Structure 1
Amino acid sequence: MDERYYSRLNQYRSLWVLVFFDLPTETRKDRKIAAKFRKQLLDDGFAMFQFSIYMRFCASRENAEVHIRRTKINLPPKGKVGIMSITDKQFGMMEVFYGTKPKEKEAPPQQLELF
């Protein structure tokens, strides 16, 4: 098959999982719980997009579900957490700005396939 077909297919098959959260930080215990949640996301391969938005590239829906399940297991007892999955194609259409200047688009991550 044509390489463009696989490239286009992968843009719709691969997903980005985004985790949005607003956690309480009034007490020392709250701050410790929030820091632990962030660390668990980083340990699971998420990267910080903004302070309370983390994202992770997943090569397939099945892989995304694994990371979504792990995030749900680690949910803190208080606060608001949202989990959203979008296709690589949708993620690539996002516009990011620093002030009024657009940020250069980054190259998509390399996919590793094991047979």
Structure 2
Amino acid sequence: MDRISEYRVMWILVLFDLPTETKKDKKAYAEFRKNLQKDGFTMFQFSIYIRHCASSENADVHVKRVKSFLPEFGSVGIICITDKQFGNIELFYGKKGCKVEAPGQQLELF
């Protein structure tokens, strides 16, 4: 049961602010987003993408992959937090609070 501990399961948050002034900038922005989506990240907010990982070792693999396709310009931040920390996020739409949706159960075959 230690394998599915909320302290072992990780979330990767990729936060970015990329320029979109020229066609080249826009293309780099779109390519970065597409690469994030190909690697299993989903949009949390416009410039924040998240990915659920089964362990910190698995998270390290995806962090290295994101680093491999960083754009030339702009700023990108990568944060890894535990599932327990992610569960403590408070979300608001205007003044109305909303519940953080738990991810679906992820099955391991091997």
The TM-score normalised by the length of structure 2 is: 0.94
**Any runs of at least 4 consecutive aligned residues in structure 1 with deviations exceeding 3 A, and if so which?**
none
The TM-score normalised by the length of structure 1 is: 0.90
State the partner residue of 1:107.
102
Segments of 5+ residues of structure 2 without an aligned counterpart are none
Q: How many aligned residue pairs are there?
A: 110
State the partner residue of 1:3.
none
Segments of 5+ residues of structure 1 without an aligned counterpart are 1-5
Alpha-carbon RMSD across the aligned residues, in angstroms, is 1.5
- The one-letter amino acid paired with 1:22 is D
Answering whether residue 43 of structure 2 is matched by residue 29 of structure 1, we say: no
State the partner residue of 2:55.
60
Whole-Å separation in 2 of the counterparts to 1:40 and 1:105: 25
Identity percentage of aligned residues = 62
State the partner residue of 1:80.
75
- Look at both structures and tell me which one has the larger radius of gyration over its CA atoms: 1
| 1:101 CA displacement | 0.6
Task: Report which of the two has the higher share of helix.
Answer: 1
State the partner residue of 2:86.
91
State the partner residue of 2:38.
43
